[in-house]
Structure 1
Amino acid sequence: MSGRTRVRLCPERTCVGCRQRTAKGDLLRIAVVGDECVADPRGTLPGRGAYLHLDMACYDLAVRRRAFPRAYRSQGPLGTERLRQCVAQAEHIDTTSSTSSTTGK
């Protein structure tokens, strides 16, 4: 033994929108079901996964850059409307909870 202790790092993933590496727990896993990108918060859906911040700016970047078809190695376009609704709803919940925690309500 060398006497060194191994530091266990948390898993990191790259957001397909902003391309930032972040802790896996801070990102939403996206999976493909049929021809549709769907949120997979538990990480239980089969197949390849892509990761995205719960932020509409990252979602918009990913759509504009066509990052979802590239991440899944898809030949055609993928539907992202349900995913957009999920991210918008999560972002709204996050901003509401952070506002109420700063105002003390």
Structure 2
Amino acid sequence: MEPVRTCVGCRRREPRSALLRVVAVEGALIPDAAARLPGRGSWVHPTSACVDQAVQRRAFTRALRLNAGPDASAVRVFVSTEPAAPTAE
């Protein structure tokens, strides 16, 4: 059975393979598609809607225990260039 994670954007629970892990490095959010980078991570659907919703709700700041709002531009670029993954609904 595959581990289940919760998207910080839409708060839906999905298998780990359907979500993108995001870590904070020096105040910037870095997409961690391989889920191998060290440190605390948060999970989000690889869609612009979920990333925007997470930024708007300040969910990355809370989930990653940051003091200030992080720069999410690298994650936005990553999700806009990745092909859409099929979602189980």
TM-score, structure 2 as length reference: 0.90
Identify the structure with the greater helix proportion: 1
1:25 aligned residue (14, 17, 40): 17
What residue identity is the alignment partner of 2:30?
A: V
1:67 aligned residue (59, 63, 66): 59
Q: State whether structure 2 residue 39 is matched by structure 1 residue 42.
A: no
Percentage of matched positions with identical amino acids: 40
What residue identity is the alignment partner of 1:37?
A: L
Take 1:18 and 1:58, find their aligned partners in 2: how far apart are those partners? 6
Where structure 2 has 5 or more consecutive residues not aligned to the other structure, the ranges are none
| 3-state secondary structure, aligned to 2:77 | helix
Instruction: Give the ranges of 4+ consecutive aligned residues of structure 1 lying more than 2 Å apart after TM superposition.
Output: none
Output one character per residue of 1:26-77: Cα deviation in whole Å (capped at 9) or x when no partner.
Answer: 1011011111001001111111010011111111110110111111111111
Take 1:68 and 1:43, find their aligned partners in 2: how far apart are those partners? 16
What residue identity is the alignment partner of 2:67?
A: Q
| 3-state secondary structure, aligned to 2:84 | helix
CA RMSD of the aligned region, Å?
1.5
Identify the structure with the greater strand proportion: 2
TM-score, structure 1 as length reference: 0.77
Number of corresponding residues: 86
Deviation at 1:94, TM superposition (A): 2.5
